[in-house]
Structure 1
Amino acid sequence: MSQHHPPHGGYAPPPPTEYEPAGSQAIHDDPEFHSLRRAYRSFGAVAALLSVGGFLSYVLLSSFAPALMNQELFGRITLGLALGLVQFLVMAVATWCYVRHMRERVDPLVLRLRAQQREQERAQEEQQARVAAGRRFRAW
């Protein structure tokens, strides 16, 4: 019988397809990994709330306060047009803040964690090579 079709009509779980690198559990338990996740989440939550809040307020003002949005600021420029153009500025500032945050807080943590992961994998490979070499020349 095939390992994919167990007897009695039951279904076997699919074979594992994901590769989990050696030492990945150690990385997940590392305090730096937790601070990396916090850095991603905290910035993402604040940026999303501010951006979506700005866009939503613009849409709501446009829908429910047309008289306010049609007020002329100077010449033919209205408050609604000015606020619409400010949305581009908001996105540019959000992008700049994201890049700066990643470069200053996240990238150094990622580089340290990658170096630790590579060192652990290298140590495991060396240990496996020593064990394999010991088996190769073993007496009967």
Structure 2
Amino acid sequence: MSYDPSPSYRYPPRDTSPSYATHPWQPASPEPHPSQVPPRPGPGHHGDLRILRGAYRRQRRVATLTALGYFTLFLLLSAFAPSFMTSTVTDGLPTGLLLLLVQLPVTLLAIALYEHTARRNVDPLADRLRAQAELGAEREEAR
């Protein structure tokens, strides 16, 4: 009868990085010399990404609140103001039906607003970051 050890004995530890000490009494690897440390990105690099994320977040919020806000208003009026929704605007056209038909143009407006803010605010930031990244990659290749 052969003994089959558990899987924890058959496989190496999960952390296989070079700094992993196999025994607790082994000293940690020494810090690399400053000349061997790769340069960190400039301080403006992360700030630009933060600005891009903020612009994209505002863009999503405006478009979402435009479409969902109108739809929520329609639902609230349907639930809490049925007499208003059943009143007629013109001969035979109830207010609720008119507001429902306006939902499609409002949704198309939200899509147009999303595209407009993308072209005006988000895309120029993304293009600038992309150009900076490509320039940085070219500089790294030249080294």
Q: What TM-score do you get using the length of structure 2 for normalisation?
A: 0.66
Return the alpha-carbon distance in structure 2 between the equivalents of residues 27 and 108 of structure 1.
Answer: 20
CA deviation map 1:77-132 (0-9, x unaligned): 110011101111111111111111111111111111111111111221222xxxxx
CA deviation map 1:17-41 (0-9, x unaligned): xxxxxx9965984332222111111
How many corresponding residue pairs?
116
Return the alpha-carbon distance in structure 2 between the equivalents of residues 7 and 28 of structure 1.
Answer: 48
Counterpart position of 2:65: 49
Larger Rg: 2
Change (3 A) 1:111 1:69: same
CA deviation map 1:63-87 (0-9, x unaligned): 3322211111012111001110111
Q: What TM-score do you get using the length of structure 1 for normalisation?
A: 0.68
Any unmatched runs of 5+ in structure 1? 16-22, 128-140
Q: Which has the higher contact order (CA 8 A, sep 6+)?
A: 1
Moved over 6 A (4+): 8-11
CA contact (8 A) 1:36 1:106 kept: yes
Task: Work out whether 1:77 is the aligned partner of 2:79.
Answer: no
Any unmatched runs of 5+ in structure 2? 1-6, 18-38
Match of 2:106 among 90, 109, 119: 90
